[in-house]
Structure 1
C-alpha cells in the first residue's frame, strides 16, 4: 500500500519550472536551528517577568528537550557517519561537520544550564523558602532521617554490581541514574574488586521532601543521588568506598521500523520499544569531580569519545526535578490560573449539532476551552441519531478522555473508526494501549498507511436528521490531548460545510481503505496536494506583485525547513512580496539577505504557552486564511498524512488575521532572526505587554467558568 501511495504522490507532484538556484549560504543548518530554539527556551529561565517556579520549569524543559535532541537528532547524525552514509543539507554541511558544530554548542549550553540553576535559580528559591540541601548542609537530624529512609525505602530495591570477570559491565538503560564506585579491600570470597556499578531503580523518586517542622516555613528537598552517596559503604560490607560518582548515558531512541517488510505494524512497534532502552550510546554525563581515569573507563565502555562527555555541576538527570511541583503549594510563584472562554452557543447543555449546523466556530486553545471538543464527541456518543464517528489520534495521553468517550460510543453500538498513529515519537507505548482499549470495546482501529505517519487532526460525525444524512467535522492544528490543550496554542474548527465534510470523508476513506486518490474540493492534503498548493498560493502573490498590486504573506508554523517552500519564498521576496514568518522552532530560511530575502522578516515567540498552531495568510488568494496540521518540513509535506483547511467564514477569517498581526506587533516576547542566523530578543521595550497575556485578557474576561 505504501508503494501505491508513493506512485500516486508522483502522479500528483508537478515539477517546478524555472526555479532559481540558491547556494548553501542561503540556508541555515536545520540541527543548529533546532538547538537555538532550545536555547531560547533556556533563556526564559532568566526572564523575571515569569514567576520563579515557572522559570525553573523552563530550565527543566530545556534539559528534557536537550535529551530528546541527543536521542533523535544527534543519534541520527552519528549513525550516518558510522555507516558512511553522510548526507549534506541545503546549508552544505555534512553530517560530520554538523556534529562538530553541535558538539561545540551543546557543551556551552549544557554548562550554562547548571550555571543558571546553581548561581541564580537555587539562591532565589531559597529566598522563597525552598531548599535543595546538599549533604554538607545536612544537620544531625537530617542524617538520622535519611538513614531511616535509606534502610526502609532505598536499600531493599538496589542491587550493586561488582565489576570483575564474572560480572562484566552491565547493560544500562537509557537515561537511567547510575553510580560508579571505587573500592578498596577484599570481599567475603577474597575477591579484590576496584570498581562497582550501583544502578538507581526508576521506581525510586529522584527528589525527596524532608519532613516539615510544624513551625517552619521552609520546604526542604534532597536528591536520591545524595541519599545513595551518603550510604554507599553499606552496599560493600567490610570494604571501603573511596569514591562515588553519578553518571548516566543517553542512547539512540529513534524507532527504526521497516514497514515495507512487516506483517503487523503493532507487533513490530511493540517489539522495538524494548530495544529503544538499549540503543547505541550518544552522550555520557558524569559529575565534574569524577577522576579522569574513571571518565575514560566509562567512555571506553560506551564506545564514546571525549567529545561525547558532558561534565555536570549537579544532578545528571535535571528533568526529574519536575516532581517538585507536585510537592509544593506556592501559587504566588506560579502562573495564575485562568478560566478559558467557551462560546455561549457551545456552553454546557446546548445542542452542538444545531449550533454547528447554522455556523462555523473557531476556537484558539488554551485561551478558549478544549471542553467543546470533548462535548461534541460526548454528544455524538449518546445521540441516537448519530450513526458513526471517525477519529484520528496522534497523541492523546495515557488517561485520555477522548478515548474514554470513543469507547463509550462503541459500546453503545455506534460505528466507531479510529486511525491511531503508533509511531508518534515517545508516545508509542501509550498509543498501543489505547488502541487495545478501543478494539476491546468494538471500535475499528487501523494504523494509517504504511510508510506515512498520520498527523492530521480530524473528527467526522455522521448524523441522520429527518431521513437525511448530515456530516459534522472538527479539524485542529493540535492533538486530541486534554493536558496539552492547556499549554499548547492551537486552532479548532467546528463546521458542517458540505465541501469540507466531504473532503474529510474522502481522507478517511484513503486512510482505512485502498484506491486512487480522490480529488478534494476545499482541503489540501499531504503527501498529494499540500506542497504544490502552498507553492501556487505563493506564486499567486508573486503574480499580483508583478502586476503592481500589494502582495503580502504571513505564515505561522513550528518549523520551516522545506527547501522547495523556502526557495519559492525567496522568489517572492525578490519581486517585492512582503513576507512575515512566525516560526517558533526550526527555521532554515535566512532572512534579510541582500537581493534574496530583503522583504522577509522572521520572528519566534517564546512564552508561557507553546506556540503550536499553524496558520497561513495570502492577501490575494480566493481563501486568504488557512489552518493546518502540517509544519513546512520535507517530512510533513512528503511522508505524512496532513491536512490544510481554509477558514471560510469572513468573521473567523478576519479573527485569524488579527491574531497573526497581534503576534507580529509583539515586542515583549519576540526573538528576531537576523541574516547571520542569530536570534535577538526584543528587549528595548521592557514594559511592552506580552502578546499571550493580551490574548488571555481578551478571551478570558468574558469566559464562562468551567
Structure 2
C-alpha cells in the first residue's frame, strides 16, 4: 500500500533526516498561478492606481483566467480522463487539485465582480464615464440603441430555436451567447420553448453611445445589454419569459505530434481550425440564470455543475479593458513617459561602431526598443553585412522587424529566421509571418522537433576589412515592440567575439540539426542551462558549508522545477542566503523550519509586467550574473531551446544587479511576500520611506 501524501497545507515536521522531495514541501503549480491573479486583482482595488488602469487590471485578470482554464485546467481534465495524470511534486491528485482550483476561482470571481459592481462602476460614474445597464437608459438613449440594434446588430444575428430539427448548435470558444426562454407558437404551429442567440465576432462587444444622445460624459453599453433589451424583436410572435447570457471556455492546447507530421505549419493550420470547438472546460453564466437552463447547458456541453461559474455582471467582462484604450483621459491613466536611448548609443552614429567600442545594455520599457530596430535597419542595407540570423517567438502583427528582415533579404543578405510556430495563442500570426518571410526569400526554420524555441537572440555577420565580425543582440524578452512598452526586460548588444561564436554555434545547431555543441559562455537549454544552474547553486552550498559568504538572488517569472527547489532547500540548510523575486507561480515554500528558513520569496506587481529573468550567484566575492529567456521551470530547463547569457562588463553587471535585483528587494509598496502556506501579503513601508522599484527606474532612466 503506497504511503499517503503529506497534505500541502501542513509543513513537514523536522525530526531526523528530512526528505526534501516530500510533497508537503511543495506548493501546487496551478494554485500558485491562481494566487498571482489575486495580486493583479488587488491593483484593480488599489485607489492609488489611476482609475482607468484599475479597469485594465480587472480585464487582465479575466484574460488570465481564460488562459488558465484553456490550458492548465483543460490539460488536467484531459490527463485525468485518459488516466495519464500523475500527482505533481505537491502530491495532490487531479480530482483534489481540481476541487481546490474551483474553490479558489470562486473566491476570485466573486471578488472580481464585487470590485466591478461596487467600486469601479460607481467611481467611473463619478468621472463621467458611464457603463449603462438597460435599466439606466433614458427614453432618448433607448430609442437610439434600438435603432442601432435594428440596423447594425439584428441583420447579422441568426437566432436559433431548439427543437428536434434544430439541435443544440456548436458554440465557439469564448464567444457571447444568450439563452432565451420562450412561450407561444411559431408560424408552423410549433411550440416554442428555448432558443439561442450567438453573437458573431464581427459585432463590437461594447457600443459607444454618441454624445448628442447622452449629453455630458462618455457612455458605453455592453452588447449583451442590447441583446437582452431587444430580444423580443428577434422572436416576433413569442413572449420572452427570460434571457440569460453565457460563455463557454474550451481546451485550447494544440495536440500535434511533431514527429508524425511532414509539414508542421500545415499540421498546425489544420489543428487551429478545430481549436474553437474543442472540448469545453468552463461555463460562465449570468448569476440569475435558473437552474433548469444551467442544467440544459451543462448537459449539452458535457460539463458538470463544478464547471459552472456564475457572474454578477457581463460574462465577457474582459471587454471592459477596451474602454481604457478608447478614452483620452490622461488624468485617469499612468503618466506618459518617453523611453530613452542608453548612454553611448546615439541615434545619428553608426550602430556597429558604437557596439564595437563597448557592450550596450537595454532595460525595457525604460529604455527604447527602437535601439534594436535601428540596429536591424542599418544591417538590412549595410553593404558590409553578409548575414542576419534571428529567432522570433512572439513578434506581433505590426512589427517593423519583419519589414526589415524582408528588406535585408531583398538587399542580398543571407537571412535566416527561426520562428516558433507553437507559441501559444500566436500560432496563426506566426504561420502568416513565416509565409511572408519565405515569399521574400528568407530561410525560415521552425526550430527543433519536440522543443519550443524560446530563446531571444539575433546575430549579424559583417565584413570589416579582412575579417568577419559578429554583432549579437540577446534578450530576456520577445522581439515585440508593443510588449517592450509594458514588459520589463533586459537586452544586451555586444560584439564580444566569444559570445558571437557561441551564438553562431547555436544557430547552426537550430538550422542544421547539428550535434551537441560546447559553448564558452552561454548556458543553453536543454543541454547546459539546467546543469549550469544546479552547479552554481551547489557551489554556493559548498561555500556556505566551508564558512564562506554565500548568496543567491534570482528574478524569475515562475519557479516550479522540483530538483532546483530541492537544491535551494539544501543550500538554505547549509547557510546560503537566498532571495527569490518570482512574479507569478512559485511552488517553493519559504520559511520552513530547518529547510527554507534562509529563503525569502517576493513578487512585484505594478504598472509594468515584470518579465526579465536574472540569476546572480555570489561566488565567494567574484559574482556571476546571467540574464535569460528561461524561468526555473521544468519545461524551460528541459524541453525548450533557451539561452542564458552572462553580463561580462563589470559596470553593466553592477547596473543589472541594482536595477533588477537590489531595486526589487527594496520595494515596499508593490512587493508581495510569500508565506509558508502559499499566501501572499503586501509589503508596507513601515518606518521606511515608500519605495517603488518601477517608479524609481522611471525617475532614473526616463527623467
TM over 0.5: yes
Q: Which sits farther off after the overlay, 350-359 or 209-218? A: 209-218
Paired residue secondary structure (1:335): coil
| 1:463-482 matched pairs, under 5 angstroms | 463-482=462-481
Contact 1:530/1:644 (<8 A) preserved = yes
Counterpart position of 2:701: 699
Unaligned runs of 5+ in 1: 1-17, 702-706
Counterpart position of 2:667: 666
Q: Distance in 2 between matches of 1:189 and 1:262?
A: 51
Q: 1:214 to 1:281 in 2, by over 3 A?
A: closer
After superposition, give the CA deviation of every residue in 1:124-183 in whole Å (9 maximum; x if it has no partner).
011100001111111110111011101110011000111011110001000110011111
> TM-score scaled to structure 2, two decimals?
0.96
Counterpart position of 1:646: 646
Counterpart position of 1:300: 299
Counterpart position of 1:8: none
Paired residue secondary structure (1:72): helix
Q: Distance in 2 between matches of 1:690 and 1:304?
A: 45
Paired residue secondary structure (2:299): helix
**2:636 pairs with 1:636:** yes
Contact 1:86/1:96 (<8 A) preserved = no
After superposition, give the CA deviation of every residue in 1:176-207 in whole Å (9 maximum; x if it has no partner).
10011111111111111200110001111111
| 1:221-236 matched pairs, under 5 angstroms | 221-236=220-235
Shift of 1:483: 0.2
Shift of 1:213: 3.2
Q: Distance in 1 between matches of 2:581 and 2:623?
A: 20
Contact 2:38/2:108 (<8 A) preserved = yes
Counterpart position of 2:290: 291
Counterpart position of 1:525: 524
Let me know the Cα RMSD of the aligned residues. 1.4
Contact 2:451/2:641 (<8 A) preserved = yes
Q: Distance in 2 between matches of 1:140 and 1:545?
A: 75
Q: 1:20 to 1:473 in 2, by over 3 A?
A: farther
Contact 2:141/2:213 (<8 A) preserved = no
Q: Distance in 1 between matches of 2:293 and 2:164?
A: 18
Q: Distance in 2 between matches of 1:327 and 1:401?
A: 24
Shift of 1:19: 11
Q: Distance in 2 between matches of 1:215 and 1:268?
A: 51
After superposition, give the CA deviation of every residue in 1:449-508 in whole Å (9 maximum; x if it has no partner).
000000000000000011210000000000000000000000000001111110100000
Shift of 1:539: 1.2
Q: Distance in 2 between matches of 1:304 and 1:201?
A: 23
Q: Which sits farther off after the overlay, 209-218 or 127-136? A: 209-218
Counterpart position of 2:657: 657
Q: Distance in 2 between matches of 1:139 and 1:642?
A: 58
Shift of 1:327: 2.6
After superposition, give the CA deviation of every residue in 1:353-385 in whole Å (9 maximum; x if it has no partner).
001111101111001111101111111001000
Shift of 1:326: 3.3
Q: Distance in 2 between matches of 1:152 and 1:683?
A: 54
Counterpart position of 2:10: none
After superposition, give the CA deviation of every residue in 1:587-612 in whole Å (9 maximum; x if it has no partner).
01100111100100000000000000
Paired residue secondary structure (2:415): strand
Counterpart position of 1:397: 396
Shift of 1:231: 1.2
Counterpart position of 2:612: 613
| 1:341-380 matched pairs, under 5 angstroms | 341-380=340-379
| 1:196-595 matched pairs, under 5 angstroms | 196-213=195-212, 216-595=215-594
Paired residue secondary structure (2:242): strand
Shift of 1:687: 6.0
Contact 1:614/1:628 (<8 A) preserved = yes
Q: Distance in 1 between matches of 2:49 and 2:524?
A: 39
Q: Distance in 2 between matches of 1:301 and 1:508?
A: 49
Q: Distance in 2 between matches of 1:48 and 1:501?
A: 48
Unaligned runs of 5+ in 2: 1-16
Contact 1:347/1:372 (<8 A) preserved = no
Shift of 1:111: 1.4
Shift of 1:554: 0.2
Contact 1:579/1:601 (<8 A) preserved = yes
Counterpart position of 2:626: 626
**2:196 pairs with 1:194:** no
Q: Which sits farther off after the overlay, 615-624 or 537-546? A: 615-624
Q: Which sits farther off after the overlay, 28-37 or 225-234? A: 225-234
Contact 1:212/1:218 (<8 A) preserved = yes
> TM-score scaled to structure 1, two decimals?
0.95
Q: Distance in 2 between matches of 1:226 and 1:546?
A: 66
Q: Distance in 2 between matches of 1:475 and 1:327?
A: 35
